[in-house]
Structure 1
Amino acid sequence: MSNIVILFSGQGAQKVGMAKDWVESSATARDLAHQADLTLGYSLTDIMFDGPDEELTKTSRCQPALYLHGLIALALIKERLPNLTPVAAAGLSLGEFTAHAAAGTFSFEDGLKLVARRGEFMEQACLATEGAMAALIGGDEDKVAALAKAADVDVANFNAPGQIVLSGTTAGIEAAIAQAKDYGIRRAIKLNVAGAYHSRLMQSAQDQLAAELAGVSIQPPAIPVVANYSASTVSDPADIRTTLEKQVTGSVRWTESIRKLIADGHRNFLELGPGKVVAGLVGKIDKDVTVHSIEDLASLEAATETLS
């Protein structure tokens, strides 16, 4: 099948044991895992395979872990299905970097270093600020935007219709939760996260990432990559740097990104990441599209059979 769009997971999808069965059974997976450990100068794979969960959950660890997992998954499905040629790519937040690596925008090593640094910068920004996030269920976008303005917080993620995330100061998020019903929002749930991702509280991380991006060799991607920040495809290296930078404090416009891909005629998606989080969101955006998910050996074999 050649008309498939590849989608990559964002932070929060990680789980202890990720990619372990692939590395134990595949030389290709072992080579990429070894390359990652060498590039980073520590054993990321030990943390991925054995945890502990508190270590893998750290922003500085889970971001490179998900990047590596996604690219191993892609390498393994391509190995089994040499005729599978993705036609476009996208990723949820951190997953946008994995999508660019898959599209050849930058090398595996450069992308890995970028996401490792991005994770470190975001972790530092979390420690330096008092931030929080809240998931809003059952509210429309205009009402959520009005609530965010009233509480002086930012809209972090437009994940799916009726599933939007706010991000900002702890006081602001608590105010937003308290007022949510007044704006017609069914439920507001404070998230168990380390800080205020995709908000103005991440400005220091954005500035530091911009400096890192300036030093990386970036090529026009071989297939269209949809940027979270603009919900449009980016191909010019300067635009790619800008959208990856601004994504740190900007909204993840996932609903629009998926709708753009569907409007372009794409109906078949392949999720490369743990937990089927992306598949769940895409299903809420459009229940008539098909999403195959690959997260471990069993799902890899199932997808190979279905797509061959």
Structure 2
Amino acid sequence: MGKKRIAFVFPGQGAQYVGMGKDIYENFSQVRELFEKAEDILGFNLRDLCFEGPMDKLKLTSFSQPAIFVVSLATLEALKISLPEISPEATAGLSLGEYTALVASEAISFEDGVNLVYKRGRFMEEASQINPGGMVSLLGLDYQTVEEICQETGVEIANLNCPGQIVISGKKDALEKAVNLAKEKKVKRAVYLEVSGPFHSSLMSPASEKLLRELNKIEIKPPRIPVVSNVTASFENNPEEIRGNLVKQINHTTRWEDSIRFLASSGITTFLEIGPGKVLSGLIRRIDDSLEVYNIETTQDMKLFPERISLA
């Protein structure tokens, strides 16, 4: 395993599903302790929500964010116990996942992270009530074409996920105009996302202002493992820059494709998606199919991993 240059990546909102984390919870006492610690901070039964649902509640922004965050870090804890020899050279996370990466790299404490992502989810929901809207994934259009659609309709680019997949964000009527224009420009598909607001756009500015106040209350240290910022798509080591980027991240474009290309150009060859779902694994393969990608979510994944990576 020594020749592999590994990055850990962590999922964002949308990766949640009922039953996530249950397998590792049942198999690791350290994971059970982590859930208990999170529940003490959150004040609700996170285990029941993750393991039993209902999905309608789990997908609400203020619940899905702490749930995905805790399950991802619990999976990381189980991985460290199962395979202590695996050592990442870098970390990254999609949107919410950047907070997970910062806790994994010891820049932010677990306790502060739980509190932050719970409040971040609430602030995003509140901003969505002030500025209602949504998000649409456009498949098969290039950046320049989507930029023209944005200028003409007033929507904004929210996520640059992978080649041919760009997510736009905005008010409902502006999104409808944008989708109609995208169809004229021969979009392959326009998919409305199941989200409660126009995330990663200027309509989220009320949330970013509230988040800044919360971020100013906590200590951020230089990361022990380099973390890629969603906003800059490069490593950020300065605590004040990290703080500023987390504020900007809510109402600016998430540059995931650029982040993965940056890591690959830094010499990373192997990516481990740690936490619920396989969204990032799919995106990374579409960004660069020469990269090795593994999903680590269950005890079985950890058991099979040494054999899978040695065969790759």
Q: Same fold (TM over 0.5)?
A: yes
Distance 2:304 2:125 in 1: 36
Secondary structure of residue in 1 paired with 2:277: helix
Look up the match of 1:152. Answer: 154
Q: 1:153·1:172 contact (CA, 8 Å) conserved in 2? A: yes
Q: Partner letter of residue 262 of structure 1? A: A
Distance 2:287 2:50 in 1: 30
Q: 2:83·2:302 contact (CA, 8 Å) conserved in 1? A: no
Name the stretch that deviates more: 181-190 or 263-272. 181-190
Q: 1:136·1:187 contact (CA, 8 Å) conserved in 2? A: yes
Structure 1 residues without counterparts, runs of 5 or longer: none
Q: 1:293·1:303 contact (CA, 8 Å) conserved in 2? A: no
Q: 2:208·2:251 contact (CA, 8 Å) conserved in 1? A: yes
Distance 2:55 2:130 in 1: 23
Deviation per CA, 1:47-97: give whole Å up to 9, x if none: 111110011101001101111111111111111122211100000010000
CA apart distance, 1:22 = 1.0
Q: Partner letter of residue 140 of structure 2? A: G
Look up the match of 1:6. Answer: 8
Look up the match of 1:235. Answer: 237
CA apart distance, 1:206 = 0.6
Distance 1:150 1:299 in 2: 46
CA apart distance, 1:191 = 2.0
Q: Partner letter of residue 102 of structure 2? A: H
Look up the match of 2:75. Answer: 73
Distance 1:51 1:187 in 2: 30
Deviation per CA, 1:128-166: give whole Å up to 9, x if none: 222011110000011111111111011000000000000
128, 131, 141: which is aligned to 1:129?
131
Q: Is 1:35 the equivalent of 2:37?
A: yes
Q: Partner letter of residue 22 of structure 1? A: I
Runs (4 or more) in structure 1 with deviation over 3 Å come to 304-308
218, 221, 238: which is aligned to 2:220?
218
Q: Is 1:266 the equivalent of 2:268?
A: yes
Deviation per CA, 1:212-260: give whole Å up to 9, x if none: 1111100000111000011111110110001111000000100000000
Q: Partner letter of residue 276 of structure 2? A: P
Distance 1:55 1:285 in 2: 32
Distance 1:9 1:303 in 2: 19
CA apart distance, 1:294 = 1.2
Distance 1:13 1:304 in 2: 25
Distance 2:49 2:81 in 1: 26
Name the stretch that deviates more: 80-89 or 182-191. 182-191
Distance 2:103 2:44 in 1: 21
Deviation per CA, 1:184-208: give whole Å up to 9, x if none: 4322222222111111111111110
Secondary structure of residue in 1 paired with 2:107: coil
Distance 1:106 1:304 in 2: 30
Q: Partner letter of residue 210 of structure 2? A: Q
CA apart distance, 1:304 = 4.7
Change (3 A) 1:112 1:264: same
Distance 2:30 2:11 in 1: 21
Secondary structure of residue in 2 paired with 1:219: coil
Distance 2:301 2:112 in 1: 28
293, 301, 304: which is aligned to 1:302?
304
1:1-308 superposed matches below 5 A: 1=1, 3-307=5-309
Percent identical pairs in the alignment equals 44
Secondary structure of residue in 1 paired with 2:63: helix
Distance 1:47 1:304 in 2: 32
